[in-house]
Structure 1
């Protein structure tokens, strides 16, 4: 495996790890501090926060799927190329992880905006 491929796979792994860390952290913090923000949330606020938690959970699942896909890509018998990171087995779960994370952040911001 050449140096460029190693670097690409390393950076992809780091991005996935950071999104996993942020997702689990946001879930924990919002669960802990939700009552401090708003003692009597409206139905829309409850829906927004539950949507955020569901999307964050989906982001975590897609992140784990991406990590497994990256491990499988590295373990392939044929030599890897720099384009290996763009194969569908990696690209699809990584895209879904990022999309669900962004949507969850939008739902969290919507909750925060309406609660203040």
Structure 2
């Protein structure tokens, strides 16, 4: 991974923070930053596509995070090893998101976070 690629998760975290702040969704910033960091890093390290795209959207009930790497290789979580320095990212994603889906063509991971939980 190039130095430019290593900076991309931090750049997207800042952008997502600004976006969620403008949408008044402050309680979700930490979770979205973690989802973006893990999915984007995974896409940059393991994806085979020519570029990586991140999209965040919200409707009345859910916040949506999409990371597309253009690669038909489906993300495959490694066996969980608490001693390992890496390999826990997809486990964190599934623990934080309310739902995680991979597109049929394998190019995009879509996570949802329920918005009604933050009002409680």
TM above 0.5, yes or no, is: no
Q: TM-score, structure 1 length as denominator?
A: 0.32
1 or 2, which has the higher strand percentage?
2
Bigger Rg, which one: 1
